[in-house]
Every structure is written in C-alpha cells, then in structure tokens.
Amino acid sequence: MYKPHTQCSLLNIAQLHQALDDHNAELNKWNQWIAHVLNTVDTHSVLVMALSQCNAPWLQHILHMLLKNGTNAVVNGYNPHSYNQVEFNLTLPIYHVGGASLFTALNKHLCLPAVFTVCNSTLSIKITPTIASITSETTAKNICSVIIKPCAQSGQTSLHGVSLLTDKTALEEVATYHPAQNGVRGLYWKHAAEQLTQKISSGNVHLGKEMLVIVAHCFGKDQTYLVLATPSCKEDYTDWDNDAHKKVGPLWSFATDGDATCQAHPVSSPIYGILSGLAGLNLYTGPHDMTLDFDYKHILKHKLFLELSPLRLT
C-alpha cells in the first residue's frame, strides 16, 4: 500500500483510482458536515425569531443581555495587526540567521509578524546556482524566473535602465548534492565539472570560500534582482540582451567591487561628448554603450601603486 505522501507520478493506475476514491469519500464527508452545520444554523435562526416575538419580560431581559454581550465581544474581539514592508524586511534576516526559536522570541517581544504571516506575504523565488562551467541557460533561467515573471505578474511593464552589480559574499564551506542539475554544489567551480572524480583521486579538490554574485538594479527602483551566483564571471550581459532588455530595459552600466577593463569608446559615438568630460572614469564602455562603474578605492590603489613604483607617472 502506498503512503499518503507518495508522488502521484510514481503510482500505477490502480493506486490512482484508489486515491481518487479516498478523496471522493473525504469530500462527501465534508459535504455532509457542512449540510449539518447549515441545518443547525437554520434551526437556531427559527428559535431566535420565535423568542423575539415572545412578550415574557424575563425572556426580553435575557435577550437584551445576550445582545449587549455579543456587541461587546465583537467590538473588543481580536483585531489583527497590519504590518508594513519594513517589518517584513526585518523579519526575514532574523528568521534565516537565528532560526525559528529567535524568530518566535522576537515576534512576541517586538510584535513582529509570525512565521505563517511572513510565509504567506513573501514571494518565493528560486535561484538556479551555477555548478561547474558557466552556461547561458542558467543565467537566462534566473533572469526569467527572478525578473521577467514577477514583473509581469505585478503589472510592472514600464522599461528602466538596468545596472549590473557584482560583489563577493561569504560561502559556507560544505559540499551538497543538487538533484535538479545532478551536480555537487560548494566545490570550487573548476573542480565541479566532469573531471570531479579525477580531481578527488589526485587530491586537488577544495571547497569554495567565496561566491561572486551578480544582481540587476533598475534605475528608479529600490529592489535588486539576483541573476547569477558563480565564482567568477563578467560576461553574462549577453544573456540579458537576448530577451530581458525588451521587457525590463537596457543595460546602462556594470558596477563591480573590483577593477575591470572595457573597450575604448569611439569618438563618433553619440554619447562620447558626455563621457569625455568625466576625466578617465567612464571613457571606456562595453557593447551597446554600457559604462563601467567600479569602486573608487581601486582608483586610489592604482594611483598610489604608480606613484610608489620605479615606473611611476611623471
């Protein structure tokens, strides 16, 4: 006999018929219970109408007290608290970092939303992590599930300029199996490909300590969208140009915590007159006139390196 939590796709025809019969029996049971409740309500309504037409003084006094107590119960009853987006944003990191115990304690002390309220009010978005070599299919799948579909469901059809933001984040040093991609997560990406067996035998496999994440930020909006989680890559904007630029907006810049290079912008470009006044910051652009916005600490670092080196600029 199959268990109730067995997936329907794993059942045979006889088991599916048995499951359908069980569901129909349960449905008939609920229908009978609802009919009984409705019949009880009708009976109580008839009784209340009969009592209201009686002229006995003691009965009128009882009905008056019941009506008064019922009104007080409605006025002083449970009034659910409405939460704003700031409170929901505060509860999410508390739940993910401290777990259910800390979340429950702060929920009672600070009057934060409960776990059930947060789960019902939060949109669940699944990110496909990059295992082994970076592929366009993974990036395109994340762009569609994280940006295009949620924006379409919420009715956000206006186009915005988009900036790609990249930075590294700490990664838990543990290897886990990812069934959707039939691969191992948590390993350094060069060792997570088909050569995994050979690398393990030679002792060259090590766990990843950092992960580089790339998010998309729409100008004029506060929200960011994660599109790629991978050890290293800055070539994912080609996947954006395939479809997302028509539904979300064009890429305007690529902001990175490190330094990077772009091709020199031609003088004949229509935006060269604007960029030429920025004195070396945005004189270089990538495909489709996309500018590069990097961390200013790297500008200072390279300047000091040139000044202190024997080949410093004059």
Q: CA-to-CA distance for 101 and 90, rounded, in angstroms?
A: 16
Q: Please give the Cα distance from 209 to 226 (Å, whole number).
A: 19
Note the pLDDT of residue 261.
43
Give residue 233's pLDDT band: very low, low, confident or very high (50, 70, 90). Answer: very low
Q: Does 79 fall in a domain?
A: no
Q: 227 near 146, Cβ under 8 Å?
A: yes
Closest listed residue to residue 235, CA positions, set 134, 303, 155, 119: 134
Based on the fold, state whether residues 111 and 28 are members of the same structural domain.
no
Question: Do 232 and 292 reside in the same domain of the chain?
Answer: no
pLDDT of residue 27: 92
Q: Which of 230, 225, 215 is nearest to 130 (CA)?
A: 230
- Segment 202-211 shows an average pLDDT of 62
Does residue 2 belong to any structural domain of this protein? no
Same domain, 99 and 38: no
My answer on whether 201 and 133 are in the same domain is yes
Angle of CA points 164, 281, 295, to nearest 5°: 50
**H helix runs in 160-236, sequence order:** 196-202
One domain, residues 156 and 223: yes
Percent of the chain at pLDDT exceeding 90? 3
Q: Burial-class residue 33 by CB neighbours within 10 Å (0-12, 13-18, 19+).
A: exposed
**Considering the domain boundaries, does residue 144 fall inside one?**
yes
Inside any domain, residue 105: yes
Burial (CB < 10 A; 0-12, 13-18, 19+), residue 167, is middle
Q: Is residue 1 part of a domain?
A: no
**Centroid of chain to Cα 150:** 10
Within a domain: 303? yes
Same domain, 210 and 164: yes
- pTM here is 0.43
User: How much is the pLDDT for 234?
Assistant: 42
Domain count of the chain?
A: 4
Range of the structural domain that residue 48 is part of:
8-72
At 34, the pLDDT band (50, 70, 90 cuts) reads very high
Structure token digits, residue 101: 């115990």
Q: What is the mean pLDDT of the chain?
A: 69
Are 93 and 132 in the same domain?
no
- Sort residue 202 into left (φ over 0), alpha (ψ -120 to 50) or beta: alpha
pLDDT above 70: percentage of residues in the chain? 46
Give the span between the Cα atoms of 132 and 265, in whole angstroms. 34
What is the rounded distance in angstroms from the CA atom of residue 222 to the CA atom of residue 224? 7
Pair 113, 238 in one domain: no
Task: Identify whether residues 115 and 137 lie together within a single domain.
Answer: no
| Strands (DSSP E) found in the chain | 162-170, 176-178, 183-185, 210-218, 224-230, 251-256, 291-294
Same domain, 265 and 143: no
Q: What mean pLDDT is predicted for residues 277-305?
A: 59
Judgement on whether residues 128 and 91 belong to the same structural domain of the protein: no
Over residues 154-181, the pLDDT tens digits come to 777 777 777 777 777 766 666 676 666 6
Instruction: Residue 143: count other Cβ atoms within 10 Å of its Cβ.
Output: 23
Angle (nearest 5°) at CA 14 between 9 and 19: 70
Query: What is the rounded distance in angstroms from the CA atom of residue 263 to the CA atom of residue 218?
Result: 24
